[in-house]
Chain A
Amino acid sequence: MKKALLTLVCGLWLAAPALAAIDTHEFDTQAERDRYRKLTEELRCPKCQNQNIADSDAPISLDLREETYRLMTEEGLSDDQIVEFLVERYGDFVRYKPPVDKRTLVLWYGPFTLLGLGMLMLALIIVRRRKGGDSDAAGQQLSGDEQQRLNELLNQTRESADK
């Protein structure tokens, strides 16, 4: 029991640093600290496929966090300016939210277009069913010609069956 507990404690102790990359940055105000945290959570690590720079332990993420901190505190840039600074160097990949432009039109509006098309088709099918329902009743009645042809066909099969 004691051993199990010890293992558990050691395991937790080892796991703690893995939760998030820890930097020792100093901020004057809590608002600044929150701003830094929000920014680093919204920026994507270029080396990793799906991790923000706040969580990533990749060396490049450490550099980008340092740069974000420097741009914030030393250069006094706004959030948009910092994102712009990084996009100029690393491309739109570093943003989790891609901008709306020619290349991303399909990404932004594709799903709505498909939804619209689906609704349109559904509406067409419903309308057709409704109309079809009416004409079905009319279709039950055979015209004079059709009745005659039916009789002929029935006679033919009867004759061939007799043979």
Chain B
Amino acid sequence: MAKGRLLAVLAVLAGVAGFAWMSIYGLHNDPRELPSALLDKPFPEFSQPMLGEPERLLTRKDLLGKPALVNVWATWCPTCRAEHAYFNKLAASGVPIYGINYKDDEAKAKKWLHDLKDPYVLNISDPRGALGMNLGVYGAPETFIIDSEGVIRFKYVGAVDDWVWKEKMAPVYEGLLKP
């Protein structure tokens, strides 16, 4: 009988430990953050005009060559304004950043880049969100890290700041820089 009781106590303890683990895991697991379905997949093909130069068509090839960030932004997105200054800083330190101007008004976007400075190597104009759809974008801002071959290595949803960059993105980015 003593053996049975010991077993029962152990089972209950295991249950409590399991529940505690789930709760703690749940606390650090933001359900709004979805894993990207495109992780380790090639950046989708596209052919869309460049912001500011509508006659120039950009394609996937324009993003290749070096590991880089691809930032989805819009002037209607307050969080994008919040992270913009940090992108200026990152760009100044030599990180190439491509922009996707997502479902935005072209004139407003140009004014925004003029007023807040332009950290982007170039901006893909995506007024109807077609590229965003192929990238699985469900809001702005979203920031991807692609390698020199154009494979998506990381995705972050929300504002990129010093902490996010140092803790989450820089390790991935610097890993890609090494040959």
Q: Which of these binds chain A: B33-41, B65-73, B86-94, B114-122?
A: B33-41
Q: In the docked arrangement, what's the CA distance between A87 and B34, Å?
A: 12
CB contact between A90 and one of B4, B32, B37, B103 (< 8 Å): that residue: B37
In the complex, chain A residues whose CB is within 8 Å of the CB of B31:
49
Q: Is the CB of B136 within 8 A of A90?
A: yes
Q: In the docked arrangement, what's the CA distance between A92 and B37, Å?
A: 8
Q: In the docked arrangement, what's the CA distance between A114 and B40, Å?
A: 36
In the complex, chain A residues whose CB is within 8 Å of the CB of B23:
none
Q: Contacts A47-B138, A60-B139 given; indicate if A89 touches B133 (C-beta within 8 A).
A: yes
Residue of A49, A88, A125 with most chain B CB atoms under a 10 A cut-off: A88
Report the minimum CB–CB distance from A64 to chain B (whole Å).
Answer: 8
In the complex, chain B residues whose CB is within 8 Å of the CB of A49:
31-32
A92-117 to B contact mask, C-beta < 8 Å, 1/0? 11000000000000000000000000
Q: Is the CB of A63 within 8 A of B129?
A: yes
Report the minimum CB–CB distance from A136 to chain B (whole Å).
Answer: 12
Interface size on B, residues (CB 8 A): 18
Q: Is B135 an interface residue (CB 8 A)?
A: yes
Interface size of A as a range: 10 to 19
Q: Contacts A46-B138, A60-B138 given; indicate if A89 touches B129 (C-beta within 8 A).
A: no
In the complex, chain A residues whose CB is within 8 Å of the CB of B34:
46, 90-91, 93
Q: In the docked arrangement, what's the CA distance between A90 and B35, Å?
A: 9
In the complex, chain A residues whose CB is within 8 Å of the CB of B129:
63
B126-149 to A contact mask, C-beta < 8 Å, 1/0? 000100111110110000000000
Report the minimum CB–CB distance from A145 to chain B (whole Å).
Answer: 22
In the complex, chain B residues whose CB is within 8 Å of the CB of A67:
133
Q: In the docked arrangement, what's the CA distance between A125 and B11, Å?
A: 15
Majority secondary structure, B binding face: loop
In the complex, chain B residues whose CB is within 8 Å of the CB of A47:
138-139
Report the minimum CB–CB distance from A83 to chain B (whole Å).
Answer: 13
CB contact between B134 and one of A46, A89, A128 (< 8 Å): that residue: A89
Q: In the docked arrangement, what's the CA distance between A128 and B7, Å?
A: 14
Report the minimum CB–CB distance from B76 to chain A (whole Å).
Answer: 10
In the complex, chain A residues whose CB is within 8 Å of the CB of B139:
47, 60
Q: Which of B23-68 contact A (CB under 8 A)?
A: 31-32, 34-38
Seen from chain A, the residues whose Cβ lies within 8 Å of a Cβ on chain B are 46-47, 49, 59-60, 63, 67, 87-93, 121, 125, 128
A-B contact pairs, 16 of them (CB 8 A): A46-B136, A47-B138, A59-B103, A60-B138, A60-B139, A63-B129, A63-B132, A67-B133, A87-B37, A89-B134, A89-B136, A90-B34, A90-B136, A90-B138, A91-B37, A91-B136
Question: Could you list 17 further interchain pairs (A-B, Cβ under 8 angstroms) beyond the known A46-B34, A49-B31, A63-B133?
Answer: A46-B136, A47-B138, A59-B103, A60-B138, A60-B139, A88-B37, A89-B37, A89-B133, A89-B136, A90-B136, A91-B34, A91-B35, A91-B36, A91-B136, A92-B37, A121-B11, A128-B4
Seen from chain B, the residues whose Cβ lies within 8 Å of a Cβ on chain A are 4, 11, 31-32, 34-38, 103, 129, 132-136, 138-139
